[in-house]
């Protein structure tokens, strides 16, 4: 009301954001509430700037009860209210998510009999598929992983996780990305290159999975988002989206993804020990002609004969 009284101030973007925030905070709505939201939002969507429209679209894209009319207006897939938010589909359907990679889903993910371990190639494909996906696709992948029979990474010991959380929070407050990456890699047993990729990812979903494995609280995770990366902390939409994802993320999904990250580092297979140098030396000794060692006695007799001859000649 105060802003509307000022000349030249457009309150429509603020009004649309507030309406959206209030709507998504409730788990369900009555028919009257939904109709009122549709009437107000449909009038404002086409009258606001692109940035505000993108923020509203991002928030409604992860809300399970977005009205059909608003979803169509924003270009979103129509959600099904009878299903839980972000339903877990079979991982075999992930080829429809990553259309640029028609065979990105490893065949090992379709086995249901036991819990197979991730091979390096399979882990690399899951990891790359996750990093290449959009935020909404990443959320779907994470919820799909919870239903797969893949072998998950073991839990981090509670004492080690508590120590890591304390160090990570202090590093985030100091905007010390280098030490944050170092501690995260040591706590999760990841190489520095993978830890850096997780922390520097612009979407933030890999970091959410990594900190979920440490059992970091939602409040601490939000503080890390606000301080570690100023660009992410300045985006209310990003912090809100990642916070919702973190609360809904299961530990199993995060642990499977952690196992994939660990398996992407193929260990260097050492060759069996062969005493090449020892054999070469023996072969060299046997094949080469023996070198004549100087005979001290013979050299001494030759010297004596030479001195005797010289003495006679002098006389």
Q: Give the pLDDT confidence of 298-313 residue by residue, as tens digits.
A: 445 555 555 555 555 5
Return d(Cα 179, Cα 168) in angstroms, integer.
8
For the four alpha carbons of 35, 38, 39 and 40, in that order, the dihedral sign comes to positive
pLDDT at site 310: 56
**Is the pLDDT score of 204 beyond 60?**
yes
Return d(Cα 133, Cα 59) in angstroms, integer.
18
Q: 159 or 50: which carries more pLDDT confidence?
A: 159
pLDDT at site 109: 39
pLDDT at site 76: 79
Cβ neighbours of residue 255 closer than 8 Å, sequence gap 6 or more: 152, 153, 154, 155, 213
**Is the pLDDT score of 1 beyond 60?**
no
**Is the pLDDT score of 128 beyond 70?**
yes
Mean pLDDT score across all residues of the chain: 75
Lowest mean pLDDT among 70-79, 119-128, 242-251, 266-275: 266-275
**Is the pLDDT score of 249 beyond 60?**
yes
Return d(Cα 261, Cα 199) in angstroms, integer.
13
**Is the pLDDT score of 242 beyond 80?**
yes
Q: 297 or 20: which carries more pLDDT confidence?
A: 20
Return d(Cα 180, Cα 40) in angstroms, integer.
44
How large is the average pLDDT for residues 44-52?
82
pLDDT at site 223: 92
- % of the chain residues with pLDDT over 70: 66
Give, as one character, the DSSP assignment of residue 133: S
* Dihedral angle over CA of 19, 24, 25, 27, nearest 10: 140
**Is the pLDDT score of 194 beyond 50?**
yes
CA dist 193 to 119, 165, 178, Å? 20, 20, 12
**Is the pLDDT score of 297 beyond 90?**
no
Residue spans of the domains in the chain: they are 3-74, 87-266
pLDDT at site 199: 95
Please report which confidence band the pLDDT of residue 279 belongs to, taking 50, 70 and 90 as the band edges: very low
Nearest CA to 131 out of 187, 76, 196 is that of 196
pLDDT at site 197: 94
pLDDT at site 102: 39
Lowest mean pLDDT among 100-109, 192-201, 230-239: 100-109
Q: 209 or 97: which carries more pLDDT confidence?
A: 209
Per-position DSSP letters for 250-300, written without gaps between them: -HHHHHHHHHHHHHTSPPPPPPPP--HHHHHHHHHHHHSPPPPPP-HHHHH
**Is the pLDDT score of 113 beyond 90?**
no
């Amino acid at each position: 009301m105060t802003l509307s009284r000022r000349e030249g101030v457009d309150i429509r973007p603020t009004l649309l954001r507030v309406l959206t925030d209030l709507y998504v905070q409730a788990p369900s709505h009555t028919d009257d509430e939904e109709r009122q939201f549709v009437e107000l939002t449909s009038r404002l969507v086409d009258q606001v700037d692109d940035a505000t429209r993108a923020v509203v679209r991002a928030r409604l894209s992860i809300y399970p009860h977005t009205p059909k009319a608003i979803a169509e207006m924003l270009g979103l897939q129509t959600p099904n209210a009878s299903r839980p938010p972000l339903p877990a589909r079979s991982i075999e359907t992930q080829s429809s998510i990553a259309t640029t990679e028609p065979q990105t889903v490893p065949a090992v993910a379709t086995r249901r009999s036991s819990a197979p371990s991730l091979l390096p190639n399979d882990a690399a494909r899951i990891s790359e598929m996750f990093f290449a996906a959009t935020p909404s696709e990443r959320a779907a992948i994470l919820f799909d992983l919870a239903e797969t029979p893949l072998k998950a990474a073991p839990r981090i010991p509670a004492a080690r996780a508590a120590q890591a959380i304390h160090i990570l929070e202090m590093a985030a407050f100091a905007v010390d990305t280098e030490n944050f990456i170092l501690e995260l890699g040591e706590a999760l047993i990841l190489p520095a290159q993978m830890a850096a990729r997780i922390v520097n990812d612009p979407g933030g979903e890999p970091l959410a999975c990594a900190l979920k494995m440490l059992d970091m609280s939602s409040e601490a995770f939000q503080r890390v988002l606000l301080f570690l990366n100023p660009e992410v902390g300045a985006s209310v939409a990003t912090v809100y989206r990642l916070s919702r994802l973190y609360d809904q993320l299961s530990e199993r999904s995060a642990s499977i993804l952690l196992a994939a990250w660990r398996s992407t580092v193929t260990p260097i297979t050492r060759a069996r020990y062969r005493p090449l140098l020892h054999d070469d030396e023996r072969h060299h000794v046997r094949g080469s002609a023996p070198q004549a060692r100087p005979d001290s006695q013979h050299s001494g007799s030759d010297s004596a004969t030479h001195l005797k001859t010289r003495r006679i000649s002098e006389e």
